[in-house]
Amino acid sequence: MLSGAEVTGVLRSKGFKATPQRLAIYDALSHTTAHPNADMLYRELVPHYPTMSLATVYKTLDILCTVGLAQELNVGEESFRYDANVESHPHVRCLSCGRVDDVPVLNDTSLLSQAAVSTGYEITGRQIYLYGICPACSEKRKKKLH
């Protein structure tokens, strides 16, 4: 999680202006673990930034991904989600409530090299998505059964 000054520096170094909207969007994204999509971020920010527009959120998320301050997730939903943690790490989505959580790093170091050999691709990135039932939903189901 970078400070406002650091984010400003990264944006400017890549030729982008550091606007209040962009800083606010990065700030919101870096302070949540909910892996929000554009609309979730918009609704969280509007109360504090009444003139914020959804289009600006989309444009900013695009820029944040471009400059390496965020990554885009595709958890199998209609919309993209975003994560300010740009390290490659697996994500897990609850098929019951839809929440998305991080999965601590797993030792999949050999994955890329194995895939490169078997497919002939130059592998440059990866995304691992797991699906299941989160502890809270699991608990709810058990209670229902009693």
Q: Which residues define the annotated binding site?
A: 94, 97, 134, 137
Site for DNA in 50-79 (CB under 7 A): 51-56, 58-60, 62, 78-79
Distance in Å, CB of 86 to a second copy, minimum: 14
* Other C-beta atoms lying within 10 Å of the C-beta of residue 108: 12
Q: Of 29, 123, 33, whose CA–CA distance to 69 is shortest? A: 29
Q: Is 129 in the site for DNA (CB under 7 A)?
A: no
- Compute the distance between CA of residue 124 and CA of residue 130 in angstroms, rounded to an integer: 20
SS3 33: coil
Q: Which residues contact 97 (CB under 8 A, 6 or more apart)?
A: 134, 136, 137
Which positions touch DNA (CB under 7 A)? 8, 12, 16-22, 37-39, 49, 51-56, 58-60, 62, 78-80
Which positions touch a second copy (CB under 8 A)? 72, 74-76, 90, 92, 94-95, 101, 103-104, 106, 108, 110-112, 114-116, 118-135, 138
